[in-house]
């Protein structure tokens, strides 16, 4: 498929359930607002040059004055949903790690596998051996697979390079994926993902990443955000503070891996420094929820990681009840979540995190967009937003779309006005 916004006009009519349409983008939805994505029964939606032009109920459909070059699609009995926004992925990586998966089935833990040189370091070794072009090709294939599943915008992290050259290589690949212009791609520098071989001092490595590699990343304009794996056995509060302070000086928002296995005060530190989001939160204490209730930092849940590693699911209900604008993303990566299936992630929001289907949908669309600062352009179908949507198979409601958890729901996917399947 071509990049950019497709030229042309498309009318989707007799839509059973249209979600996310309005005069404006739905934007970031917090607390009780998360049930408020607009829903319209028996509706039409007009799209032009890759953007939403207009829409409304069929009862007041104005008719078609100009048939010239107009494609008309009948969506009776189906839902039209905004395309997913996946605000946390490690999509650029060299290879899968299924042998570690088998090791885990045989009884080793994620941490034990990492301690034996598996895990992130295993991915780093494979990535360093791969050329930038080869890395681009495997990553593009993954991105196209996600797009066919209905993902209309993504974030991509570095973090499998772990040295200057390889971190820059990863970010260049992510930028090249964005430059194809098929969907918006935001990039994140995650140099502090694990301490590679050759470094005995965690702080010395973090300082190298923050003081030497980050400036090179900034110089080449390769990252939109920074990230660090703030976790026992990886990077502590001091290293996290160092990165947050440097990022603030450079005007780069922070999105931080925190509370995956242990809660050690990382949430409070990130909120204090005005981080854009804190991601994972499988382990969440009452004081962490209270910090996030201030609304300064968005929580991002990664339920596919909980499912795959058998970790607790983020307490979505508690976060939304506390007034947070919760987002859901996949964490797509070869170690803890080898899937980019946003539909499954959203369905788990309801099955395991206590969210109502409308809340899960908001978390996986407009709030995912807000977690990337993209809520004006994607995550909804407001007038002027990108014409990126999922036309489902026959489904009665949003509730059914999230209840049908294991089966694909997308009959067709339109991204920036172009059918991708
Ligand atoms: O988000 N937790 C840290 N990083 C990734 C997993 C990385 C890996 O195992 O390759 C995550 O779960
Ligand atoms: Fe992650």
For the chain, the domains span 9-82+377-419, 85-370
Beta bridge partners of 46: 11, 54
The listed CATH number (2.40.50.100, 3.40.50.300, 3.30.360.10, 2.30.40.10) that belongs to domain 9-82+377-419: 2.30.40.10
In angstroms, the CA 34 to CA 36 distance is 5
pLDDT in tens, 152-165: 999 999 999 999 99
The CATH code for residues 85-370 is: 3.20.20.140
Identify the residue whose C-alpha is closest to ligand 1 atom 12. 336
Query: How many angstroms does the Cα of residue 165 sit away from the middle of ligand 2?
Result: 21
**Residue 391: half-sphere exposure toward Cβ, Cα within 13 Å:** 23
Centre of ligand 1 to C-alpha 79, Å, is 34
Give the whole-angstrom CA distance, residue 219 versus residue 19: 41
Taking 90 as the threshold, does the pLDDT of residue 117 lie above it? no
- Residue 229 alpha carbon, nearest atom of ligand 1: 3
* pTM, two decimal places: 0.98
pLDDT tens digit sequence for 58-89:
999 999 999 999 999 999 999 999 999 999 99
Give yes or no for residue 93 CB within 6 A of ligand 1: no
Q: Is 119 in the pocket of ligand 1 (CB under 6 A)?
A: yes
Vertex 279: Cα angle to 344 and 149 (nearest 5): 25
Q: Evaluate: CB of 334 within 6 angstroms of ligand 1.
A: yes
* Nearest alpha carbon, ligand 1 atom 1: 331
- Ligand 1 in reach of 229 Cβ (< 6 A): yes
- Please name which ligand lies nearest the alpha carbon of 123: 1
Contact 189, 168 (CB under 8 A): no
Determine if ligand 1 sits within 6 Å of the CB of residue 336: yes
Beta carbon of 333 within 6 Å of any ligand 1 atom: yes
- Ligand 1 atom nearest to 337, measured from its CA: 12
What residue owns the CA closest to ligand 1's atom 11? 336
Instruction: List pLDDT tens digits, range 359-415.
Output: 999 999 999 999 999 999 999 999 999 999 999 999 999 999 999 998 999 999 999
Sign of the C-alpha dihedral computed for residues 187, 188, 189 and 193 taken in this order: negative
């Amino acid at each position: 498929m071509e990049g950019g916004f497709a030229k042309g006009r498309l009318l989707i009519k007799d839509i059973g359930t249209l979600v996310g349409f309005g005069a404006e983008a739905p934007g970031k939805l917090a607390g009780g607002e998360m049930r408020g994505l607009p829903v319209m029964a028996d509706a039409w939606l007009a799209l032009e040059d890759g953007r939403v032009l207009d829409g409304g109920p069929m009862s007041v459909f104005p008719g078609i004055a100009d048939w010239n070059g107009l494609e008309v699609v009948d969506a009776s009995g189906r839902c039209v949903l905004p395309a997913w926004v996946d605000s946390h992925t490690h999509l650029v990586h060299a290879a899968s790690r299924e042998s570690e998966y088998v090791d885990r089935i045989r009884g080793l833990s994620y941490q034990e596998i990492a301690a034996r040189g598996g895990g992130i370091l295993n991915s780093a070794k494979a990535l360093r051996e791969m050329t930038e072009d080869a890395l681009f090709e495997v990553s593009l294939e993954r991105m196209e697979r996600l797009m066919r599943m209905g993902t209309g915008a993504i974030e991509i992290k570095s973090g499998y390079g772990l040295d200057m050259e390889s971190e820059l290589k990863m970010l260049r690949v992510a930028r090249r994926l964005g430059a194809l212009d098929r969907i918006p791609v935001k990039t994140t520098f995650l140099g502090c993902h694990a301490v590679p071989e050759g470094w005995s001092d965690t702080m010395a490595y973090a300082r190298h990443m923050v003081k030497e590699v980050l400036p090179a990343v900034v110089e080449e304009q390769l990252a939109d955000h920074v990230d660090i794996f703030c976790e026992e056995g990886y990077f502590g509060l001091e290293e996290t503070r160092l990165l947050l302070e440097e990022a603030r000086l450079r005007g780069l928002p922070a999105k931080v891996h925190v509370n995956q296995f242990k809660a050690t005060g990382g949430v409070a530190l990130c909120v204090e420094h005005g981080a854009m989001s804190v991601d994972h939160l499988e382990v969440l204490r009452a004081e962490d929820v209270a910090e996030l209730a201030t609304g300064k930092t968005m929580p991002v849940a990664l339920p596919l990681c909980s499912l795959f590693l058998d970790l607790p699911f983020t307490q979505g209900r508690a976060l939304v009840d506390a007034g947070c604008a919760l987002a859901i993303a996949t964490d797509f990566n070869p170690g803890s979540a080898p899937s980019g299936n946003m539909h499954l992630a959203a369905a788990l929001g309801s099955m395991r995190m206590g969210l109502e289907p409308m809340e899960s949908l908001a978390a996986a669309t407009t709030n995912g967009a807000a977690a990337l600062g993209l809520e004006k352009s994607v995550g909804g179908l407001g007038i002027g937003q990108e014409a990126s949507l999922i036309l489902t198979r026959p489904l009665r409601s949003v509730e059914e779309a999230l209840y049908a958890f294991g089966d694909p729901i997308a009959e067709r996917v339109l991204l920036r006005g172009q059918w991708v399947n």
